[in-house]
Structure 1
């Protein structure tokens, strides 16, 4: 199967730390250790010499230099300058006990609430900062012009896919979501030019999403993906790549804060699509709202 090059991948519009976090899975294990130190405390990393950082990461100075190049820096001096600037503009948690978004053992409920609220808010803010309006515009164009829209996701991302499909359907777009992988593959096999396939995967490595997007692309459909990692496997089959900026906390792997970030992007796309034809969208929303009004307790009795 021929793989076309990605046509639209974000390049660090939302800050260096978000950029490094997105590249983390594509780095070598030794480079990942450096990356985690940098992401956890950019101010501390900026103060360290290259020898200090290499020692703290349990690796060599050569690995630190390779890490710098992997994330787009010319060398360690440039990385230190960028990290210092990043640290200066970082948002400080309102609760001083919230450090790095992690929930320590023995945390009380107030700390848990503060940590989760801060992590979710940060995911939304950083996702919005790094979201490329030009790429979003291309995806919106594809949605508006598509004869059929298939949205694919698995697990928690499948819930986001279903939410997106419902939103699009309620403004009159022909959209489908397939929670069953066999049905998804069958749908992708029947797609073609003029159709749009959208994959949603936090890791970008979910086999089901990768497979259906590859199938849709092979059939000539336009493809788009929403992922947290711009170098993940699924991006090889995407014409348009949108990224989130979600960093998980203790007890909150993939299915939690990542979903908040994904829903933020979905809402941006949905509103942009609706805004392209406000009369049509408004009429569709009114019609669907009226259709379900009687299903709400007490609604029928209140109507004249």
Structure 2
């Protein structure tokens, strides 16, 4: 996960930690030139606060933070360009303007999603996919087509995927899951009816759970074994369409499929070619 994104998502901060976070996000170039003592003096906090923030970011020391700021700053700046994710175009705009705006929305969505991905989490999930006796997806209604695309990709390399789309099917599917099964739950805000009950049922049966949601979803996250985040600049209801969240989810699932494919590249490729139908 991009360090700037990670800093932005920190919760339960003290007032001094908030001051520190605001300064780092507003003045990354200055932070790169400071040591911990200088940063503490600049922000009127203690050095202990600086080290405590590093600890919350799962970093060993302040030098690690500076290295990540230096190497990941450009990626975060690409994400921070001005874009209305809910209304990427308006009445009386030309077709040329709309096409350009949609290109920008796609690009910024991918950058924002990439900045939210954690490589160690991706590696762990791919391993869980290899170990699982079965893999199922429980998508929200608006994400069924993207989930179907992932199922098709996996099926074409000989890896069957179950998709349960209705509350009825999801309920009964969850009731027969066990510790060797893997379930991918997709819900942007966690407001899908019955989803909390499903997560509890899966947890009770010790199934492995991958949650894919927006960053500000908090109700379901404690029940998941792994949490992947969609680009979260989109409103839940006040928007022209789910352009950004749909592209973000597609990118995440494509990354999982590609990393899974790479683990057994030539066998999967040969299976796909040998069994291809038009």
* Aligned match of 2:66: none
* Aligned match of 2:28: 85
Shift of 1:191: 0.8
2:252 is the alignment partner of 1:265: yes
* Aligned match of 1:162: 148
Structure 1 stretch 115-124 or stretch 102-111: which is displaced more? 102-111
2:193 is the alignment partner of 1:207: yes
> Given the alignment, which residue of 203, 214, 219 partners 1:217?
203
Q: Would you say the 8 A contact 1:225–1:242 is kept in 2?
A: yes
Once the two structures are superposed, residues 13-61 of structure 1 have per-residue CA deviations (whole angstroms, 9 ceiling, x without a partner) of 32546864x68xxx9xxxxxxxxxxxxxxxxxxxxxxxxxxxxxxxxxx
2:228 is the alignment partner of 1:242: yes
* Aligned match of 1:282: 269
Structure 1 stretch 221-230 or stretch 241-250: which is displaced more? 241-250
* Aligned match of 2:58: none
Secondary structure of the corresponding residue to residue 207 of structure 1: coil
Q: Would you say the 8 A contact 2:215–2:232 is kept in 1?
A: no
Once the two structures are superposed, residues 193-223 of structure 1 have per-residue CA deviations (whole angstroms, 9 ceiling, x without a partner) of 1111111112233234443333222112111
Q: Pairwise CA RMSD of aligned residues?
A: 3.0
Once the two structures are superposed, residues 268-287 of structure 1 have per-residue CA deviations (whole angstroms, 9 ceiling, x without a partner) of 11011111112331233124
TM-score by length of 1: 0.66
TM-score by length of 2: 0.71
**Which ranges in structure 1 are unaligned for 5 or more consecutive residues?**
1-12, 28-65, 294-304
2:124 is the alignment partner of 1:124: no
* Aligned match of 1:300: none
* Aligned match of 2:173: 187
User: In 1, distance between residues paired with 2:264 and 2:186?
Assistant: 25
CA 1:107–1:83 in structure 2 vs 1: closer, same or farther (change >3 Å)?
Answer: farther
User: In 1, distance between residues paired with 2:150 and 2:254?
Assistant: 8
2:93 is the alignment partner of 1:107: yes
> Given the alignment, which residue of 211, 215, 222 partners 1:229?
215
Secondary structure of the corresponding residue to residue 75 of structure 1: helix
Shift of 1:181: 1.6
